Amino acid sequence: MKRIILDLPPTPNFISVKRTHYREGEQYAEQNCTGVYGWLFVIRGALSIGEGKSLWQVEKGQSILLLPDRHYISTASCHNETIFYEVRFDYLGPYREDDNLACSPPDRLASTTVYPLIISQYGALQHCARIERLLKRKMGLTAEEGPSEYWRGQQRFMELLHLLDEEQKDQHCTLTSVRRLAELTESYLRRCYEQELTNEVLAEALHFHSNYIVRCMKEVYGCTPLEYLIQYRLEQAMHLLSNTELSVAEVAERVGFKYAPYFSNCFSRYKGSSPMQYRKRQRAARIPGTNENECNHSLHDSTGHNLSARK
């Protein structure tokens, strides 16, 4: 998810806000390098918007920030009744784009002159009700004129930007806690891989629900804890097969597998060969002039027939 960063000052300047109601079949108007920012917040239905190769389906509770120097088009008509707010503002400084959500938030105490305002370009909002209430109040001010109304409007607009900035802080905190638990789980699996481990054991050891642990591991490492455990055990088995004289059954037991046949099946799927074939190849690779055919010689009888193929 891309983030847009505006370094303050200069301060963004509010231009307008409007609430738009589309019926089924209507679509968002094309926006071609308008020179101003457009922030859309959908409260019902969905908008289909594209820019270059990027396509967005902005649904209820989601928002999108349209940049001033890009060409946006509607990629589809509304399938249902759609209602959204559109806030337009300008900003005289350059914006920055950042795709790395895992990075630490900027240190706002590092500089006394620059405050980075961070807005997600597209995504779901957590404070939807607060934002909608603020926009309704903002709509009431735009119907009035005069210096007092102008300054109150600017104040409400800054409140909106502050809320959007807070959304990013909350998302960062969530990502940080997810990564921390995933790394804690990884560390525990590496320390205790020789023991019998289940999701229930992990939950008791780490003091989190097993479903949450699984979700964190999949989000950070792309696999479940048990999938990670099996792969780590097999990596340890590879080391033992290469550097010890332990039997396959002993290796399996050392790395946490109860049953040698199950270990062999897992190893074959992981490495594409049996544990014994892997050991022979590793040893052959250490002897100059020895090739894989020589390594496999013991699998053939004096007539050259492959014994491993016999049933």
Question: At 33, is the pLDDT very low, low, confident or very high (cuts 50, 70, 90)?
Answer: very high
pLDDT digits over 96-139, tens only? 998 754 444 444 444 457 788 888 899 888 888 888 888 888 77
> Does the domain at residues 3-158 carry the CATH identifier 3.20.20.140?
no
Q: How far apart are CA 169 and CA 262, in angstroms?
A: 46
Identify the band that residue 67 occupies on the pLDDT scale cut at 50, 70 and 90: very high
Burial 67-87 (b: 16+ CB within 10 A, else e): bbeeebebeeebeeebebbbb
pLDDT of residue 140: 64
Strands (DSSP E) contained in 108-151 are: 115-120, 122-124
Segments making up each domain of the chain, as ranges:
3-158, 227-309
Residue 24 has pLDDT above 90, yes or no: yes
Confidence of residue 79 (pLDDT cuts 50, 70, 90): very high
138 HSE (CA, 13 A, CB side):
25
**Interstrand relation of 37-44 and 82-90 (parallel, antiparallel or unpaired):** antiparallel
Same fold? 3-158, 227-309: no
Question: What is each CA distance from 258 to 13, 101, 237, in whole angstroms?
Answer: 67, 41, 13
Residues of the chain with pLDDT > 90, as a percent, come to 57
DSSP string, 202-218: HHHHHTS-HHHHHHHHH
Q: What's the pTM?
A: 0.54
Q: Is the pLDDT higher at 236 or at 144?
A: 236
Q: What is the mean pLDDT of the chain?
A: 84
d(CA 176, CA 87): 31
Predicted confidence (pLDDT) per residue in 143-201, tens digit: 556 677 778 888 888 888 888 887 776 666 666 788 888 989 999 999 999 999 999 99
What Rg value do the Cα atoms of the chain yield, rounded? 30
Q: What's phi and psi for 202, nearest 5 deg?
A: -60, -45
Q: How far apart are CA 155 and CA 151, in angstroms?
A: 6
- Arch. (CATH architecture) of 227-309: Orthogonal Bundle (1.10)
CA–CA gap between residue 279 and residue 292 (Å, rounded): 11
What the block records as the tokens of 34 is 């308008």
Q: How far apart are the first and last CA of the chain?
A: 55
